[in-house]
Amino acid sequence: MCVAVPSRIIEIEQDTAVVDVGGTQVRARLDLLPEAEVGDYVLIHAGFAITVVDESEALQTLTLMKEIGLL
């Protein structure tokens, strides 16, 4: 099973984004989401941003993940 954590884009350089994943910064490819912008929340799978998610849903998911100890 794979759990995708909502991650906020904090920087974009060409086709690669730096995202914040629960306080850790990682790089993710944006090939599948060329419309993604700094500040968007995205789901990352295998190093690729696969979908943009609503900010309120992302924050709610992050809160729940923290409450159950996943973050």
Q: What is the pLDDT of residues 5-63, one digit of tens each?
A: 899 999 999 999 999 987 899 999 999 999 999 999 999 988 999 999 999 999 999 99
DSSP alpha helix (H) spans, the chain: 55-67
Q: Would you state the pLDDT for residue 4?
A: 82
Residue 65's pLDDT band, with cuts at 50, 70 and 90, is confident
Q: Give the pair of three-digit tokens for residue 37.
A: 């912008």
CATH classification of 6-67 is 1.10.150.20, yes or no? no
Please answer whether residues 18 and 10 qualify as being in contact, where contact means their C-beta atoms are separated by less than 8 angstroms.
Answer: yes
Q: Where are the domains of the chain?
A: 6-67
Q: Return the number of other C-beta atoms located less than 10 Å from residue 63's C-beta.
A: 10
Judge whether residue 1 has pLDDT over 80: no
Q: In whole angstroms, what is the distance from residue 57 CA to residue 67 CA?
A: 15
How many residues are present in the chain? 71
pTM over cut 0.95: no
Q: Would you state the pLDDT for residue 23?
A: 86
